[in-house]
Structure 1
Amino acid sequence: MLLKIQELKLQKHETMEYCGKTYNIYKRSNLYEEVWKQPITKIAKIYSVSDSAIHKICKALNVPTPPAGYWSRVRARKTVKKMPLPKGNYREQKTGLRSETIKLSQEEDGILKFLDDENRTLVLAIADQIILPHEDSRMHSKIIAHRKKVSKWQKELKKSEAKGWGKRNLSDPPFFADTVSEESLPRVCRIFDALIKALEPLDCKLTDDLKIKVNQETVHISVTEVKEKIPHTPIEKENLELLKYEDRHNSNSYISKPKINKYDYLFNGRISFMIHGRKTFRDCKAYVVEEKLGDIVLALYEVSDVLRQEREKREEEARQREIERQKKEEQRERYNLEVANTEALVNKAEDYETSCKIRAYVSALEKSGELDDETATWIQWAKQKADWYDPTVASSDEYFGKRKHEESSESKVLKKSGYSWW
């Protein structure tokens, strides 16, 4: 939990100057009281050194430190045992180099900057105060439901493994059902319970598969438990198979050697929480995951903002692609319209040219001399056909109807009508 440490508080610790650098003076009795009052991560900030530096100083002064899980038990209001300070001829103090100035690191100073001041203060306060619920307290309803699914799947896996089938014929495992042991399941569920109970007042939501929605972004937490590789000890059934194989093998009877694993991979209780594949919190010598609940809260918010930025980037890229697609589509439509209009123009011009040829021919015929009635009737008919061909007149023909001047000449070829057979 990244909280501001006041300069006034830091001045209580003695320091000394040497060659232009500042050194802390660690007094054994004072350090003992400090490490049992608050986590070493906070003590390190007070002295402006790393966590490992405090551990080394404690070891050098023979100062006992709280074991892993101590502070999570304190937060859960459980009874804890404080180890006494060993008596003997031990060094009373030690000096160690510290930074020249004590202030928030760039990482701490920049945390949750995407939130407004009010929400940032609220989230930081919740991260600082989050505690692990008591073992007997009722869990969130979605965690209870998911835990039942996990327990059911793990029982089915045990039955399947006993038959030698492994994971065959099993449904896909629910979240963390195949990455966490039955023994660690209650612990993992309590951690999720602590997180969602702290986050729900901030309008965060828990999904059915235990993803957490932070600021409308869905953040996935992957949970794994470390497996240790240990030599396999054959069970009674495997020993019998080996004896059967050796007996038959010695009697020259063909029998395949039973396949028995050389090693077993067993869960060892050390778990890790990975926030959307970006930040990991794992059990280690210095702390357990439960002691990092506040940091997990902050990580959930930090990752949610990264997801927001990535989502908005994808949406903007999709919007730009759609704009580009629409531009291309509009360009295609304009081009095709231009092609159609040009073709129609050419087709109309061809029809007009035909009408002009007909009129020219009719005019020449009229000038050729006296015309009989039949020729005069034919000339009148020809003029009507010229008007039918002429797109500027666009008259309708008794037999052909309206001519579609804009269409191609091939589609307007006049054809004789044949018989229709029904």
Structure 2
Amino acid sequence: MKTTELTRKELYDIVWSTPVSKLTQQYALSNDGIKKICKQFEIPMPDGGYWMKLKFNKKVNTSKFNPIFGGMDKIVLTLREEGNTINIDQTPLTIRTKEIENDPNAPLIVPDKITKPDIITIQTQEYWKESKGDTFYRKYKKLRYPIRVGEKHKQRALCFMDALIKLLRYRGHSLGEEHQNTYILINTIYIDFDLREASKRVPATTTYGTSEYIPTGEFILKIGRYSGEKEWRDGKLKIEKLLARIVAKLEIYAQEEKKQQEASRLWRLQYDAEVKRKDEIKKRKEEEVAKFNKLVALSEQYNTSQLIRQYIQAEYQQAIKIKTLTPELQEWINWANDKADWYDPTINKPNDILDA
């Protein structure tokens, strides 16, 4: 959409020379949208009777323009394209609905009789015929509509669902199956949907009787689940008249769900990265502690080997001193030195018996 840039004084001159109803034809804004912009930029507007008084040449009061303003003196307005009824200040749902309604090729009419039925429509008819009203029938495995209505209103339900899937397909979407249930599939997002007939409770007429639930013929379409759940039901407008709004809501629902999934994916990546980082720190710490403990153990082992050598030397010196160095003692000294060399981590002399 094209835009135009105005100063506060220029917008003031416009709103005092042109009624808001005509300004909405020039700019892609609603009445409230223009009023909000004027309020935001502290631009006074004519009161309700200003234009009627002006028309009949009656005296009018004009609010003066105040050039003093604390914000930027720059207002960007979106110009309305010819034939485009969308206002940029409307909700995303309203904008999307109007986009669909303004598409001349969009199939928005729900006929009383189906022509060129969608494959899912045909399969739903096959299921009804095969199951013979048994709601617990599970032999039919093909995709079908989730419809729960009385026999009297099956044709209407089928016409609505056929029109809905045709509009969805026109918009680039489809139906899909997950866990043996049928879902609307939009941009890889599976959306629950269900068409049912409302019923009213009729209290029992006897003491030991039970209440009855009578079908009302009122249709209810539900999409989504949990906090994202949305329902449409017959009222002043039948749900057949709400096709564009229903599909618009489905597309926005899928968009929001996609964003949520992406946010969850990014959070999971961050979480996994943080867990990995902490695990690596823990692993490095454990390895460092293990290496240090080994160092301590080897140093203690080395000290012990030195004590053994000192003891062997003391025994040798004592034997020399008192002249008791016998061949047996010398053999023991050799054996002990050999064991000290085996125990000393700086030597690690092999020993067949001890190594085994």
TM-score (normalizing by structure 1): 0.54
Cα distance change on mapping 1:311 and 1:394 into 2, 3 Å: same
The alignment status of 1:350 with 2:300, answered yes or no, reads yes
Instruction: Kindly state the Cα deviation for residue 314 of structure 1 after the two structures are TM-superposed.
Output: 1.8
Distance 1:388 1:198 in 2: 87
Partner of 2:11: none
Identity score, percent: 24
Partner of 1:305: 255
Distance 2:104 2:304 in 1: 89
Query: Which of 222, 229, 232 in structure 2 is aligned with 1:281?
Result: 232
Query: Which of 272, 281, 291 in structure 2 is aligned with 1:341?
Result: 291
Distance 1:272 1:265 in 2: 16
Distance 1:268 1:320 in 2: 52
Query: Which of 290, 310, 315 in structure 2 is aligned with 1:365?
Result: 315
How many matched pairs? 267
Partner of 2:158: 189
Partner of 1:216: 188
Q: CA RMSD in A?
A: 3.6
Partner of 1:399: 353
Partner of 2:63: none
What letter matches 1:132 in structure 2?
A: V
Cα distance change on mapping 1:226 and 1:110 into 2, 3 Å: closer
Distance 1:298 1:126 in 2: 16
Query: Which of 214, 236, 254 in structure 2 is aligned with 1:266?
Result: 214
The alignment status of 1:104 with 2:55, answered yes or no, reads no
Cα distance change on mapping 1:122 and 1:222 into 2, 3 Å: closer
Q: Which moves more between the two structures, 337-346 or 349-358?
A: 337-346
Asked whether the 8 Å contact 1:176–1:222 carries over to 2, the reply is yes
Partner of 1:137: 115
Cα distance change on mapping 1:320 and 1:147 into 2, 3 Å: farther
What letter matches 1:187 in structure 2?
A: R
Distance 1:184 1:279 in 2: 22
Instruction: Kindly state the Cα deviation for residue 214 of structure 1 after the two structures are TM-superposed.
Output: 1.0
Higher relative contact order (CA 8 A, sep 6+): 1
What letter matches 2:150 in structure 1?
A: S
Asked whether the 8 Å contact 1:112–1:302 carries over to 2, the reply is no
Cα distance change on mapping 1:123 and 1:374 into 2, 3 Å: farther
SS of alignment partner, residue 109 of structure 2: coil
The alignment status of 1:204 with 2:173, answered yes or no, reads yes
Q: Which moves more between the two structures, 204-213 or 293-302?
A: 204-213
The alignment status of 1:226 with 2:198, answered yes or no, reads yes
Instruction: Kindly state the Cα deviation for residue 288 of structure 1 after the two structures are TM-superposed.
Output: 0.4
Query: Which of 149, 155, 159 in structure 2 is aligned with 1:180?
Result: 149
Instruction: Kindly state the Cα deviation for residue 147 of structure 1 after the two structures are TM-superposed.
Output: 4.8
The alignment status of 1:7 with 2:25, answered yes or no, reads yes
Instruction: Kindly state the Cα deviation for residue 339 of structure 1 after the two structures are TM-superposed.
Output: 2.9
What letter matches 1:206 in structure 2?
A: L
Asked whether the 8 Å contact 1:132–1:191 carries over to 2, the reply is yes
Cα distance change on mapping 1:103 and 1:301 into 2, 3 Å: closer
Partner of 2:268: 318
Distance 1:127 1:292 in 2: 17
Distance 1:205 1:196 in 2: 7
Distance 2:88 2:129 in 1: 43
Partner of 1:291: 241
Residue by residue, what CA displacement relative to the aligned partner does 1:127-160 show, whole Å, maximum 9, x if unpaired? Answer: 9542225624243223433454466667236xxx
Distance 2:232 2:348 in 1: 84
The alignment status of 1:381 with 2:335, answered yes or no, reads yes
Asked whether the 8 Å contact 2:185–2:191 carries over to 1, the reply is yes
Instruction: Kindly state the Cα deviation for residue 301 of structure 1 after the two structures are TM-superposed.
Output: 0.7
Structure 1, unaligned runs of 5 or more? 1-5, 9-16, 23-101, 114-119, 158-169, 235-256, 403-422
TM-score (normalizing by structure 2): 0.63
Instruction: Kindly state the Cα deviation for residue 182 of structure 1 after the two structures are TM-superposed.
Output: 2.7
What letter matches 1:155 in structure 2?
A: G
Instruction: Kindly state the Cα deviation for residue 389 of structure 1 after the two structures are TM-superposed.
Output: 0.9
Distance 2:94 2:345 in 1: 76
SS of alignment partner, residue 346 of structure 2: coil
Instruction: Kindly state the Cα deviation for residue 298 of structure 1 after the two structures are TM-superposed.
Output: 0.9
Cα distance change on mapping 1:21 and 1:206 into 2, 3 Å: farther
Distance 1:367 1:394 in 2: 26
Residue by residue, what CA displacement relative to the aligned partner does 1:62-100 show, whole Å, maximum 9, x if unpaired? Answer: xxxxxxxxxxxxxxxxxxxxxxxxxxxxxxxxxxxxxxx
Instruction: Kindly state the Cα deviation for residue 308 of structure 1 after the two structures are TM-superposed.
Output: 0.6
Asked whether the 8 Å contact 2:100–2:244 carries over to 1, the reply is no
